[in-house]
């Protein structure tokens, strides 16, 4: 991978040794989501798989990083741009733990996923508010949503995830909308987050001013396709982020975005997309 941009979010002496303990990779999968988390103690986590055309790309990306098995896989909700290639993931790697919300969806992509889960003898753990997973002594994952059994919108079933790495915190919103956000705000404390993965590719169905006011993110990642037909990210969401002084990184402009954390500071590496 050719690194073409580097930002250091928190200044430190040039001679200081900077040890990465955790990396978050927001893969450039167009109008879809796929996030890879890697820890220094060898844990590998995949959150969503991209759409039905992204399987080869995601599998190759993981294999090129030496991934042979996945400790944790999370399917945030069953829309095709999040689980479209999840069956390919499950066929390509041994999976220790698998989480997804308890909601069905009558599509071929969902059926393929369920068939792959059954074929590989994978146990489904429910992704819901209150569930916690410890990846390392100082790295924890907590599900903040969904907190209800039923929603009108499938997006509000999204598994919203908070990752805490010592003093650094990350909030991954999947496609959660306003209804889920309102419930989420009741669970959030007053501690700010360092980075938010903006919901639903930047659609104006979430990322409300109330959420930004409470979480006070310094940085945001938007996973979105170049020149997509939906016009995402919306101007309203971009304006709200700007008004709250949030630095925005977009996969349609920067390609795959890699966040490196040592528990105190963050670095971001970005790869420009191919023309």
Predicted confidence (pLDDT) per residue in 167-192, tens digit? 999 999 999 999 999 999 988 877 89
What percent of the chain has a predicted confidence (pLDDT) above 70? 91
pLDDT tens-digit readout, 20-40: 699 999 999 999 999 999 999
Domain membership flag for residue 5: no
Domain membership flag for residue 74: yes
pLDDT tens-digit readout, 74-98: 999 999 999 999 999 999 999 999 9
Query: Which residues span the domain enclosing 78?
Result: 19-270
Distances (CA, A) of 92 to 59, 69, 155, 204: 7, 9, 27, 35
Q: Which CATH number covers residue 170?
A: 3.60.15.10
Domain membership flag for residue 116: yes
Domain membership flag for residue 63: yes
> How high is the pLDDT of residue 273?
54
Domain membership flag for residue 12: no
Domain membership flag for residue 1: no
> How high is the pLDDT of residue 28?
97
The two beta strands, 124-126 and 94-100, are parallel
Domain membership flag for residue 14: no
Please indicate whether residue 30 or residue 8 has the higher confidence score (pLDDT). 30
Total domains in the fold of the chain: 1
Domain membership flag for residue 114: yes
- 2: confidence class by pLDDT, cuts 50, 70, 90: very low
């Amino acid at each position: 991978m050719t690194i073409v941009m580097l930002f250091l979010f928190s200044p430190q002496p040039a001679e200081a040794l900077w040890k990465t303990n955790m990396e978050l990779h927001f893969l450039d999968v167009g109008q879809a989501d796929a996030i890879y988390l890697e820890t220094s103690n060898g844990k590998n986590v995949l959150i969503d798989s991209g759409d039905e055309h992204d399987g080869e790309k995601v599998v190759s990306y993981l294999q090129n990083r030496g991934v042979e098995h996945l400790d944790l896989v999370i399917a945030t909700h069953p829309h095709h741009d999040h689980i479209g290639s999840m069956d390919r993931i499950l066929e390509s790697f041994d999976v220790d733990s698998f989480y997804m919300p308890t909601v069905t969806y009558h599509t071929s992509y969902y059926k393929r996923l369920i068939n792959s889960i059954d074929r590989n003898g994978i146990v489904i753990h429910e992704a819901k508010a209150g569930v916690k997973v410890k990846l390392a002594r100082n790295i924890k994952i907590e599900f903040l949503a969904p907190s209800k059994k039923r929603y009108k919108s499938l997006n509000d079933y999204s598994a919203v995830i908070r990752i805490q790495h010592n003093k650094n915190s990350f909030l991954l919103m999947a496609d959660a909308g306003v209804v889920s956000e309102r419930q989420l705000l009741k669970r959030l404390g007053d501690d700010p987050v360092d980075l938010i993965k903006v919901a639903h590719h930047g659609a104006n169905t979430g990322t409300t001013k109330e959420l930004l006011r409470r979480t006070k993110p310094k940085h945001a990642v938007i996973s979105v396709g170049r020149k997509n037909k939906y016009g995402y990210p919306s101007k309203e969401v971009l304006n709200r982020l700007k008004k709250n002084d949030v630095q925005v990184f977009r996969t349609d402009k920067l390609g795959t975005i890699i966040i490196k954390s040592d528990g105190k500071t963050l670095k971001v590496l970005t790869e420009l997309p191919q023309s």
